[in-house]
Structure 1
Amino acid sequence: MRTAGALALALAVLPLGGAARPVPARVMSLNQCADQIVLALLPPSRIASVTWLSRDPESAVMARAAMRVGINHGQAEEVVRQKPDLVIAGTFTTPATRALLRKLGYPMIEVNEAASFDDIRAATRQIAAAVGERARGEVLIRHMDEELAALAREPVRPVRVAAWDGAGFSAMKGSLYGAVLGVAGAVNVADVPPAADHGEPDAEVLLAAAPDLLLQGAPGSRFPGLRDDVARHPLVRRYWADRMVTVKPTVYFCGTPFAADGARMLRQQIQAAAARPHAPLPFARTR
């Protein structure tokens, strides 16, 4: 397994700006997930700004690095003021902002949201090429692939889980969260009936699926709302109160080369929770 320390050393020995063509001296990212890759590839001196969201350690794996650079709120006015040589936008960046920046002639790339590890490789290579740091991008991808290979080699006890939040079942098939769960070695009940057949939150379907553990991630609003009625449904509190795993959003929120490290952390959490003694779920069918 390649450690984070080994990754940092591998990046440190690579020269910056190794591309033959001129590289952008000031890069501005308008997308929180692209922020993470930019911060991993470039020194602070080459980053005009990243989004303000990237300073939140709950959802941004590079939060400490983000504290060393400027921030933006995804507004075209900020781009005009900061005068970057390259703007990195995402599919969730406001279409009007992207259209205006194209009209004004700002060099810009648009990065798709990642829903798989292949998507992460593609996004990392796209950004690394645009900022002139292909070699450093490949180091990040190699770190991810080595961790994925290590996870695949290790035996793991299968544990049936449901990612359950204010919208009901999350981590559906085809999502990045679902991909991370698969690498973590969990059996995601959202992939199969009855949960796979229900897009709306339904506590009765949760009972029928009978997962061994519930995973709860990003906290919702601090103010009470209807989502709380789903996430903290009386049946959830009754049967899964001692079967709950709290998952940091950094594990599943953004598709970055650090997603494999998130899967490792999630595997450890799930296995530790599953090893604790639990009373059998009275409605679970024998498997």
Structure 2
Amino acid sequence: MNQCTDQLVLALLPPERIASVTWLSRNPDGSLMAAEAQRVGINHGLSEEVVRQQPDLVVAGSFTTPATRGLLQRLGYPMIEVDHAESFDDIRRITRQVAQAVGEPARGEALIARMDRRLAELARAPGPRLRVAAWDGAGFNASKASLYNAVLEAAGAVNVANEPPASTYGRPDVEVLLQTAPTLLVMGAGLGRKPGLRDNVERHRIVRRYWDGPRTLTIRQAYYICGTPLVADAALRLRGELRAAAARVRTPLPFAATRAL
């Protein structure tokens, strides 16, 4: 009943053992298991759907549809509630939690081992550290202790949001962006996003002037929005995308040499 826990279930179990996943799991922008989600039924977080499907276990996120969770628990449906993961250690923990609950602990350990191999592969050949700003309508993004930042670092990027002067700002600030002078802006593709005032920051004329085109890399939110072992594969793909984008940048920013250190 949660886009993130659904991906764990889809990675752990064959389709015939899954009554349904949330309809959001079929969106490739937000799910790394969208193709697999097409092979099973869906739900919209409604208790009526769950009662009709009669599952042996309900797997939910800790913030997923509280009213539905409460009603299903009162009706006696077995349920586990899974925290949101903000680190690779969190991913190991919740993968084991879900794997144990669905009776597939060995499969869970295999997924964790695959993730750790990918992370080790990334660490063996880090290459030059590429300075980037995770930037969206809220300004600087991917703060420390977030999964987004962990994925960026695993991919070989230095996120300027966590360096002075950007690290002292909890709000969007184009002047600070100029001071930090990142080589690339990394933007997550919005899920069902509509135009709004946020675009005044994200698409500020200074941002357009200096970072439009090859200096902006738009990535799927699926790369970092959900903590599953699959994000290590996403980090590996992201490293290739970052390097390819950096290779297309032909000239340095005119103010890069004077940025604050």
SS of residue paired to 1:226: coil
Instruction: Tell me which residue corresponds to 1:41.
Output: 12
Pairwise CA distance, 1:282: 2.3
What letter is aligned with 2:222? T
Instruction: Tell me which residue corresponds to 1:225.
Output: 196
Whole-Å Cα distance in 1 between the matches of residues 60 and 199 of structure 2? 32
Trace 1:125-204 onto structure 2 (pairs within 5 A). 125-204=96-175
- Total equivalences in the alignment: 258
What letter is aligned with 1:276? R
Trace 1:16-165 onto structure 2 (pairs within 5 A). 30-165=1-136
Please give the per-residue CA displacement for 1:126-167, whole angstroms capped at 9, x wherever unaligned: 110000011111111110001101111114111110111111
Moved over 4 A (4+): none
SS of residue paired to 1:143: helix
**Contact 2:29–2:191 (CA under 8 A) maintained in structure 1:** no
Whole-Å Cα distance in 2 between the matches of residues 185 and 126 of structure 1? 29
Whole-Å Cα distance in 2 between the matches of residues 138 and 183 of structure 1? 21
**Contact 1:166–1:220 (CA under 8 A) maintained in structure 2:** no
Instruction: Tell me which residue corresponds to 2:252.
Output: 280
Pairwise CA distance, 1:281: 1.7
Whole-Å Cα distance in 1 between the matches of residues 187 and 247 of structure 2? 18
Q: Which runs of 5+ in 1 are unaligned?
A: 1-29
What letter is aligned with 1:281? L
2:226 alignment partner, one of 238, 254, 269: 254
Instruction: Tell me which residue corresponds to 1:243.
Output: 215
Q: Which runs of 5+ in 2 are unaligned?
A: none
What letter is aligned with 2:231? A
Instruction: Tell me which residue corresponds to 1:5.
Output: none
Whole-Å Cα distance in 2 between the matches of residues 65 and 171 of structure 1? 28
Instruction: Tell me which residue corresponds to 1:270.
Output: 242
Identity %: 65
Instruction: Tell me which residue corresponds to 2:182.
Output: 211
**Contact 2:215–2:249 (CA under 8 A) maintained in structure 1:** no
**Contact 1:157–1:271 (CA under 8 A) maintained in structure 2:** no
Pairwise CA distance, 1:275: 2.1
Seen in structure 2, the aligned counterparts of structure 1 residues 220 and 231 have a Cα distance that, compared at 3 Å, is farther
Moved more, 100-109 or 128-137: 100-109
SS of residue paired to 1:138: helix
Pairwise CA distance, 1:221: 4.9
Whole-Å Cα distance in 1 between the matches of residues 154 and 166 of structure 2? 20
**Contact 1:184–1:263 (CA under 8 A) maintained in structure 2:** yes
Whole-Å Cα distance in 1 between the matches of residues 215 and 102 of structure 2? 45
Pairwise CA distance, 1:224: 2.4
SS of residue paired to 1:224: coil
TM-score by length of 1: 0.86
What letter is aligned with 2:57? L
Seen in structure 2, the aligned counterparts of structure 1 residues 205 and 141 have a Cα distance that, compared at 3 Å, is same
